[in-house]
A and B are shown apart, each in its own frame.
Chain A
Amino acid sequence: MIMSNAASSSKQKHTGRRLFIKKAVALTALSASPPLLIKAGEQDEFISSFFEKKDVNLNINGKTYSLSIEPRTTLLDLLREQLGLTGTKKGCDHGQCGCCTVHIEGKPVYSCLVLAVMQEGKKITTIEGLAQNENLHPVQKAFLKHDGFQCGFCTPGQIMNAVACVKNEEISTYDQIKEFMSGNLCRCGAYPNIIDAIMDVKKQGGAL
Chain B
Amino acid sequence: MIAFDYSSVNSISAAWEAKLKFPNAEFIAGGTNLVDLMKKGVTSPGKVIDISHLPLKSITEEKNGLRIGALATNADVAEHPTVRTKFPLLRMAILAGASVQLRNMATVGGNIMQRTRCPYFYDTAMPCNKRNPGSGCGAIDGYNRMHAVFGFSDSCIAVHPSDMCVALAALDTIVNTEGKKGKRQILITQFHRLPEKNPEKDTVLLADELIASVFIPENKFNKSYYLKIRDRQSFAFALVSVAVALHVEQGVITDSRLAMGGVAPKPWRLYTSEKLLNGKKITPELFREAGEEAMRDASAFKHNAFKIPLGKKAVTEALKRAVESSF
Instruction: Provide the bound-state CA to CA distance between A71 and B45, in Å.
Output: 12
* A113-147 interface (Cβ within 8 A of B): 113-115, 117-118
A52-B6, A72-B3, A114-B105 are contacts. A182–B38 as well, Cβ < 8 Å? no
Q: Is the CB of A118 within 8 A of B31?
A: yes
Tell me if B234 and A179 are in contact (CB < 8 A): yes
From the candidates A108, A115, A165, name the one contacting B104 in the complex (CB within 8 A).
A108
Q: Is the CB of A183 within 8 A of B98?
A: yes
Answer whether residue A88 sits at the interface, using C-beta atoms and an 8 A cutoff. Answer: no
A11 within 8 A of B: no
Interface residues of A, CB < 8 Å — how many? Answer: 32
Assembled-state Cα–Cα distance A134/B318 (Å)? 52
Of A2-10, A15-23, A31-39, A91-99, the segment with at least 4 beta carbons within 8 Å of chain B is: A91-99
A171 to B2 CA separation, bound complex (whole angstroms):
40
Given contacts A72-B4, A74-B35, A114-B31, contact A182 B99 (CB under 8 A): yes
Contacts of B75 in A (CB 8 A): 107
Cβ of A155 within 8 Å of any chain B Cβ, yes or no, is no
Chain A residues in 8 Å Cβ range of B48: 71, 115
Please measure, in the bound complex, the distance between the C-alpha atom of A120 and the C-alpha atom of B104, giving whole angstroms.
18
A109 at the interface (CB under 8 A from B): yes
A74 to B100 Cα, complex, angstroms:
20
**B62 on the A face (CB < 8 A):** no
CB pair A118–B101 under 8 Å, yes or no, is no
For residue B170, give the distance in angstroms from its CB to the closest CB of chain A.
Answer: 23
A30-68 contact mask (Cβ, 8 Å, vs B): 1 or 0: 000000000000000000000110100000000000000
> Across the two chains, which residue of chain A brings its CB closest to B50?
A118
Query: What's the least CB distance linking A165 to chain B, in Å?
Result: 8
Please report which residues of chain B, range 225-244, place their CB below 8 angstroms from some CB of chain A when the two chains form the complex: 233-235
**Is the CB of A149 closer than 8 A to any CB of chain B?**
no
Contact assessment for A72 and B38 in the assembled complex, using a CB-CB cutoff below 8 Å: yes
Closest CB in chain B relative to A122 CB, distance in Å:
10
A80 nearest CB across to chain B (Å): 16
In the complex, residue of chain A having the shortest beta-carbon distance to the beta carbon of B122: A94
Q: Is the CB of A108 within 8 A of B6?
A: no
Picked from B1, B38, B50, B104, the residue with its CB within 8 Å of the CB of A107 is: B104
Q: Is B324 an interface residue (CB 8 A)?
A: no
Interchain CA distance A104-B100 in the complex, whole Å = 13
Instruction: Please report the C-alpha to C-alpha distance between residue A74 and residue B48 in the assembled complex, in whole angstroms.
Output: 14
Cβ-defined partner of A95 (8 Å) among B3, B28, B36, B234: B36
Contact partner of B105 among A93, A113, A181, CB < 8 A? A113
> In the complex the two chains form, what is the Cα distance from A114 to B2 in whole Å?
16
How distant is the Cα of A72 from the Cα of B6 in the complex, in angstroms? Answer: 9
Q: A residues within 8 A CB of B102?
A: 95, 110, 183
B1-50 with Cβ < 8 A to chain A? 1-6, 8, 28, 31-32, 35-36, 38-40, 48, 50
Chain B contacts with A in 113-150, Cβ cutoff 8 A: none
A95 to B98: give the CA distance in the assembly, Å: 10
Q: Give chain A residues whose Cβ lies under 8 Å from the Cβ of B101.
A: 95, 98, 101, 108-110, 161, 183
Contact A52 B5 (CB under 8 A): yes
Kindly state whether residue B316 has any CB partner on chain A within 8 Å: no
Q: How far is the CB of B83 from chain A (nearest CB, A)?
A: 14
Q: Assess whether A180 is interfacial by the CB under 8 Å rule.
A: yes
Partner of A94, one of B39, B99, B235: B39
Given contacts A110-B102, A183-B101, contact A70 B3 (CB under 8 A): yes
Complex alpha-carbon distance, A95 and B39, angstroms: 11
Q: In this complex, what residue of A is CB-closest to B6?
A: A71
Partner of A98, one of B3, B28, B99: B99
Tell me, yes or no, whether B189 is within 8 Å of chain A by CB.
no
Q: Does A207 contact B (CB under 8 A)?
A: no
CB-defined contacts of B1 to chain A, threshold 8 Å: 72
Q: Name the residue in A108, A113, A183 with the highest tally of chain B Cβ atoms < 10 Å from its Cβ.
A: A113
Chain A residue nearest in CB terms to B36: A94
**Which residues in A have their C-beta under 8 angstroms from that of B105?**
109-110, 113-114
Closest 9 CB pairs of A and B: A183-B99, A71-B6, A182-B234, A182-B235, A107-B104, A72-B1, A113-B35, A51-B3, A110-B101
In the complex, given contacts A115-B31, A118-B31, what are 4 additional A-B residue pairs having Cβ atoms less than 8 angstroms apart?
A52-B3, A70-B3, A183-B99, A183-B100
